[in-house]
Amino acid sequence: MFMGEFQHSIDDKGRIIIPAKFRDLLGSSFVVTRGLDQCLFVYPMQEWEVLEQKLKALPLMKSDARAFTRFFFSGATECEWDKQGRVNLPGNLRQYAKLEKDCVVLGVSNRVEIWSKDIWEQYFQQSEDTFNEIAEKLVDFNFDL
């Protein structure tokens, strides 16, 4: 399981160091794609394969399903670590997530998220007031914190 929040920076060549404990869980090859809320999602291969099967099961005749599948797969790229434990993020993904210098790397259960520090701080600040409301709604799903 991925968990925690880490501050990192991205270099001029688009490389970022991912925390060692995340690298171990991601393995030697993993997938980076556009995430929701203007961040990047990073999946170990086995989690990516599970997600791929779920997306393949979406109804092709529904425009929303086609649009989401396109969004998710068109941005996906298989990545590997360099010798210093960095990953080189493609330009289109850096541009999507507005990754320029200061970044936040989050562990979120089955995936890692990479955020621009400014966007993460803004998202967290806006969401902080609604976390209690969200938790109350999750009770409707028999989810107990």
CATH 3.40.1550.20 is right for the domain spanning 2-140:
yes
Q: From residue 99, how far is each of 117, 139, 143 by CA, in Å?
A: 8, 35, 34
Which tens digits make up the pLDDT trace of 56-81? 899 989 999 999 999 999 999 999 99
* Whole-angstrom distance, CA of residue 32 vs CA of residue 103: 15
Q: Determine contact, residues 106/5, Cβ cutoff 8 Å.
A: yes
Please tell me whether the overall predicted TM-score, pTM, comes out greater than 0.85 for this model: yes
Which tens digits make up the pLDDT trace of 108-129? 999 999 999 999 999 998 887 7
10 DSSP assignment: B
Place of tokens 């990545």: 79
